[in-house]
Every structure is written in structure tokens, then in C-alpha cells.
Amino acid sequence: MRELRLWILALAWLPLAAPAQEPGTALKDDVLRAEPYADAKPLGDIRKGASLTILDRATGWYQVEAGSARGWMRMLSVRRGAAGQASAAAEVGGVAALSTGRAGTGQIVSTTGVRGLSEEELKSARFDEAQLRKAEGFSVSKADAKTFAAKGPLKARKFDYLPVPQQTAGGGSEGGRR
Amino acid sequence: MRRLACLVFIALLPLAAVQARDLGDTLRSLKELGGQKPQSPSPQSSAAKPAKDSPDLPTIPPIGNVPEGDEIKIGRYIAGNLLGAAPLVADSALQSYVNRVGRWVASQSERPDLPWTFGVVESNDVNAFAAPGGYIFVTKGLYAMLRDEAELAGVLAHEVGHVTQRHHLKVMQQSQLVGVGSKLLTKKLGSKDDRVKALIGSGAEIMARGLDKNAEFEADRIGVVLATRAGYDSYGLPAVLQEIGHLSADTGSVALLFKTHPHPDERLVRLGDAMGTRFDGVTDGQNLPERLQRMKR
């Protein structure tokens, strides 16, 4: 019985675990390191566009396999999915997958009885006072939110806003003014 | 190039003054919308009251200085229209939960005392929306993708960033300048409703227009910081971006999101550059997967 409960606990944690053995692609040039730390031993350079296999995640790092090397890379330097592979819509699962029946039209026609949010539908939307009041009714106070956070337990910390970054070599130039 | 931009700006200045007058009128029109009790006139609206038909207009505060009460009214109007397109998911526990997470995140911003309102709306699209004054909505389709509370916090924090930076108000100001000719026409011919439309567009159109790319990058940078300040794992928003980056742009559910935002890959690279090593010291952020409220099916 206790063992069963442990199993259930373990299963509950599964969604958090990094996707095991998932293909990935380097989004920019970066360094593969022996451990998930900035000052860990560098194992080699990863070039933008390189194919990877994502094995694990530790906060802001992915453990990846690149060729024969295995190490850690910054999570934000990696896109999930193989190079050139853009569509994996089916993997979203659940609700989102329902809407892919008309992929390519750019619109979701409400096959499921749910109204959509295409550009046209947004334009023709009518003000709904009753819904708005309902929404406002769910609003909570700062104090309520604070109590809720403490139960997390979440602890507020100081952290400075980020400056606008300089472009990196791998960042591409399309990000600038068009 | 910069010089040219400068010239264009100077050429537009007189128009800007006229437009500011339009804005004052529109704000007054807005006050009469949405069944809200009209408030006592704000300093903005009295300052904006023009001597009719006079080309020499008083100096009017730029839209960045829109009084908070007016900002909330604009947001309230847009939010009501959005809800007209996609009503709230009928799940009180879910809506309360999203409000608690959202308000906690917003409490870490410079505008903790706005009447923040969060909601999950009935749509299978993958998207999230922010309207001025603190109205924030995520679609059911996006919510279904989330794996833990830190991811929800990250998404909401990005939207909070749009509100604290008044990104949509800035777009409204820009579109006023761009559409100046037709706007004057509307003013001559139009009713109050037409003037509101001139400023905000029809229905919730402003939500379909999208913001400047740089506004999105900025909201991403603010999003990870607010989530971190709130005690969450800093990487909730990046994890969602990676999940969305998985989807093809021609997938119906993300068509509007991809149209109105830079590609998630580009956002990840920009955000990664901005984050650098700054978050390496934050190792005790919470994910709280067990607390993420599941939707009723």
C-alpha cells in the first residue's frame, strides 16, 4: 500500500520532469558544459542549428547530447524539436489539439461549439457587461494573493529589471528594426 | 535615416496636437460607455477641453500621462469586448485561482494597486491578452498547455508587463498619428461611438493588431523578473515559449499569436541574451505543479 502511494507520488511529478529523449536544435552558438553552471568545465562549442537530443532539465539548463558529447547547455539556447521540424501540433494534446482540425485556414471555426478569437471575431465582438462584471467579481485583493502565495510556499525576493541586451552573434539580425 | 525620422516627427507635431484633442473627446466618450458611473472630470479632460474650432490648442499631456481612471475605463471597454468574443470558462475555482496567482505576480510590479482582473476564456486558440488598466485573459487552449504554476505565473507576468509599460496606450497614440486624415473625417461626421472606434477599433480589434516586436521582447524581460520576484522558477515563461515554438505557424490555434508576436525562437534568443548569467544565483524558485488548478472537463 505504501509502495503504491509512493508510485502515485512519483507519477504526480512526471509532468515537471524534462521530456526524456526529445530532439532539440541549438538556437545560437553556445558552450556545452560538464555541469549546469556557468563556470563548469567547457566540453566544446555548439553551433547555431546543431541537432541535439534533450535528456534532462535543471532550472535554466538542459542536459543534451550533441554528437558523441553529453553535457549541459542553457535552456534558452535550445529550441525543442528537430531542425526544420516546425509542426508537432498533435503533441499539445487535450484542448488545443481539438482546434487543429482546420490547420492552415488561420481561423478556428467553432466545430466544438466554442467561440473563437480570430481577427474577424475580435473585430465583430460586442461589449458584454455581464461577463465583464463576472470577471471583475473574481478579482482578489493584494492581501488575499499574499496569503495564497505564502501557502505555496512562495517567498518574494528583490530582483532588478533587465537591461535591453546587446545582440549576440547567434541572435540573428532580423530582430532589429525592419 | 534618423534625420528623416526627425523631420517626419516635426511635420507631424501640429497634427499631434489636434489628435490629442481628439483623444480628450474620446476619453469623455468612453466615460459614457460601459454603464459606468461618470466620474468627476479628471484634470486631463478639463485640460483637453478645446476651444472649439480653434487651431491654437492648449498643450495637452501625451497619452503616456493618461490618468489612471481613464486608462482603466479604456481597458474595461476593451475587456468587455473581448469577453463578448470569448466568455469566461464556467469554472469558479479556476478563475479564482488564476486571479490569486496573477495578483501575486502583479503585486511585484510598480503598479500593485491597479484593480487587476485575470481570467481564462472559452477559446481553443493558444493566446493571452492584456488590456490597459490591468485586465488580463488567457485562453483555455493556452491554459491546457501549462504544466505548473510557475508557467502560469510566467505567462501572466508577461501580460502584466504590457500593462505596467502601457504598451497598448502607446499603440493607440501611434495609430492616431498614422490615421490622422481619416480620423479628422470621422470627427466631423462621426458619432461618439465612431470616435471610440477611431481610437480603439471595432470590438476587441486592438487585440488582433499586435504590438511592436520590441514591446513583446520587453514584456518577456519583465515577465521573467516578476515571476522571479514572486518566488517562482524564473524559467516558467521560457518553458511555455518552447512549448509554443513547437507548434507550426499554420496551426489554426496559434495563427493569431504568431501573427501578433515575434516567433518564439526569436523571443527565446532575445530573452536568453537579456537573462545571461543574472538568474544563476536563483536556485530556489518554486514550480508548484501540484497546485496548478486543472480545468473541469
CATH number, domain of A18, equals: 2.30.30.40
Cβ atoms of residues B263 and A27 within 8 Å: no
Q: Which of the given ranges, A5-14, A34-43, B56-65, has the highest pLDDT on average?
A: A34-43
Q: Contact B267/B240 with Cβ under 8 angstroms?
A: no
Average pLDDT rounded to a whole number, residues A68-84: 89
Q: Is the pLDDT of residue A53 over 50?
A: yes
Domain span holding position A64: 2-80
Residue B202: what are its φ and ψ, rounded to 5°?
-80, 145
pLDDT band of B195, cuts 50, 70, 90: low
- In a domain, residue A25? The reply is yes
| Reported ipTM | 0.77
Mean pLDDT, rounded, for B33-37? 44
Find out whether B232 and B158 touch, Cβ atoms under 8 Å: no
Averaged pLDDT, B178-203: 56
Report if residue A72 sits inside a domain.
Answer: yes
**A19 — contact with chain B (CB < 8 Å)?**
no
More confident residue, A175 or A16: A16
In this predicted structure, the answer to whether residue B160 has a pLDDT above a threshold of 70 is yes
Q: Do B243 and A92 count as a contact with CB atoms less than 8 A apart?
A: yes
pLDDT in tens, B238-283: 999 998 887 776 677 888 888 888 889 999 999 999 999 999 999 9
In B, which residues are within 8 Å of A114 by CB distance? 122-124, 140
**For residue A134, is it within any domain?**
no
> Do residues B232 and A159 lie in contact, with contact meaning Cβ atoms separated by under 8 Å?
no
Answer left, alpha or beta for residue B187, where phi above 0 means left and psi between -120 and 50 means alpha. alpha
The full set of domain ranges for chain B reads 76-166+208-291
SS3 B93: helix
pLDDT digits (tens, 9 = 90+) for A81-123: 876 654 333 333 333 333 333 333 333 333 333 445 778 888 8
Mutate to test the interface with B, among A9, A25, A30, A95 (most CBs of B within 10 A): A95
Percent of chain B with pLDDT over 90: 49
Average pLDDT (B26-44) is 46
Residues of B in contact with A141 (CB under 8 A): 103
Task: Please give the average per-residue pLDDT across A40-45, as a whole number.
Answer: 95
pLDDT of residue B262: 86
Under the banding of pLDDT at 50, 70 and 90, the label for residue A124 is confident
Q: Identify the weakest region by mean pLDDT among A66-80, A104-118, B122-136.
A: A104-118
Question: Is the residue at A89 inside a domain?
Answer: no
Question: Measured between beta carbons, which residues in chain A are less than 8 angstroms from residue B275?
Answer: 60, 76, 162
DSSP per position, A28-68? S-EEEESSSSTTSPEEEEE-TT-EEEEEEEETTEEEEEETT
Smallest CA–CA distance from B248 into chain A, residue: A87
Q: Where are the beta strands (DSSP E) in chain A?
A: 22-26, 30-33, 42-46, 51-58, 61-66, 69-74, 78-80
Of A125-129, B135-139, B171-175, B289-293, the poorest mean pLDDT is in B171-175
Which pLDDT band, with edges at 50, 70 and 90, does B103 fall under? very high
From the candidates A132, A141, A144, A158, which should be mutated to test the interface with B, based on the most B CB atoms within 10 A? Answer: A132
The reply to whether residue B232 touches residue A154, judged by beta carbons under 8 angstroms, is yes
B10/chain A closest Cα distance in angstroms: 21
* Average predicted confidence (pLDDT) for chain A: 74
Q: What angle do CA B158, B159, B163 make, to 5 degrees?
A: 120
User: What is the distance between the alpha carbons of residues A103 and B262, in angstroms, rounded to a whole number?
Assistant: 20
Q: Measured between CB atoms, does A39 come within 8 Å of chain B?
A: no
Cβ of B230 and A149 within 8 Å? yes
Q: What pLDDT does residue B26 have?
A: 53
Closest residue to A108, CB basis, from B124, B239, B289: B124
Number of domains in chain A: 1
> Exposed, middle or buried: residue B78 (CB in 10 Å: 0-12, 13-18, 19+)?
buried
Identity of the residue numbered B12:
L
Q: How confident is the model at residue B49 (pLDDT cuts 50, 70, 90)?
A: very low
**CA A136 – CA B106 distance, rounded (Å):** 16
Percentage of chain A lying above the pLDDT 90 cut: 51
